[in-house]
Amino acid sequence: MTQDLIILTTSLIVIVIAAEIFTNAIESLGAKLKFSEGVTGSIFAAVGTAMPETMVPLVAIFAGNSAKISEEVGVGAILGAPFMLSTIAMFLVGGAAWVFRHRRKKVIIHPEHSGLKRDLEFFLFVFSLAFLVAFTPPTWRLLRIFVAIMLVLSYFYYVMETIKASKVLVKDGHATEESKNLYLSAIFKDHMFFVVVQLLIGLGLIIAGAKGFVVGVEHLAEVLHVPVIALSLLIVPIATELPEKVNSITWISHGKDTMAVGNITGAMVFQGSLLPAIGIFLTPWTTNLTVTASSIITLLASGWLYVLVTKKTKITPPLLIANGVLYVLFVIIVLISL
């Protein structure tokens, strides 16, 4: 068990460091291409910090030791990532806004409205599709393939819409500003080539860390006699979502609410569309009590955020307590079902 914990801890450290390297390069890329904070937060930073939780299910599905365990870790991580983002991550954003209220000189969280609304609309659509198709018989293969293709196309349409809105936002003063210089620029020139090099280095380390984490989870679940699906829904997303949470808290502390919230909601769209599409193609994509509970709670938490946005309610920390309560509710459901 000690060895498994060491593997998990080491893999986690590698993932967090790799995500920081990757995200730093993504931010530099956004600034160089002169995109808005919305594009950089919802697409570049979101995809960058989503890489750890993207790699975990892919590595689990393609390289797991057992087909059943690989599928459970994969499906659990796929559905667990949006769950974590819509519940505990948003709760932490609210908490950070309260903690840093004096530094921010405001307690209200004020992300760019149209971008947040677009993120939530796309997420609610794609995640609902991915969840509902799990209830169809496995023999309905053509329908499942059609849904998977719809999910992929929806994400690319979302990217196009977000980029299209970028030009107006840049003119309105929402252009991306580099918070840190490219790490490789300390050694080499700050050039687009080295941005790409740093991206590839970060991605390679993320893949290595993800593989180690999957192995650690498999062994730990066996030792603790805990269902792998429960462990992968609770532990894997907590670990792999750390980059998003840390980045969003940092941006909130500096008053960059659009980047902070967009980092989370953009990752939700990415993970609610492309990853389920892969899961539908490569696994039986079936549901059980744990998966159903996490998916319903994810939709409730996202729906709550959407209600706040559509009603143009001022988003304050107390309003995001509901997202934290929904996370606790899921933990209770998992513990009762063990």
The CATH number linked to 124 is: 1.20.1420.30
Q: What are phi and psi of 161, to 5 degrees?
A: -65, -40
Count of domains observed in the chain: 1
Retrieve residue 172's tokens: 């309105």
Count of Cβ atoms closer than 10 Å to residue 70 Cβ? 22
pLDDT along the chain (338 residues), means of 10: 77 78 76 68 71 66 55 64 89 93 89 90 95 89 94 94 73 55 80 83 79 72 65 61 72 84 90 88 79 91 95 92 92 78
> Which runs of E-coded beta strand occur in the chain?
none
Count of Cβ atoms closer than 10 Å to residue 188 Cβ? 12
Dihedral angle of Cα 134, 276, 72, 285, to the nearest 10 degrees: 30
H or E segment to which residue 255 belongs: none
**Residue 62 and residue 41: Cα distance in Å, rounded?**
29
pLDDT of residue 49: 67
CA neighbor of 127 nearest in space, from 5, 247, 256, 276: 276
Range of 288's domain? 2-337
Angle separating helix axes 242-253 and 228-240, nearest 10 degrees: 30
What DSSP character marks residue 109? B
Question: Which positions ≥6 away from 300 have C-beta within 8 Å?
Answer: 326
pLDDT of residue 194: 83
pLDDT of residue 108: 92
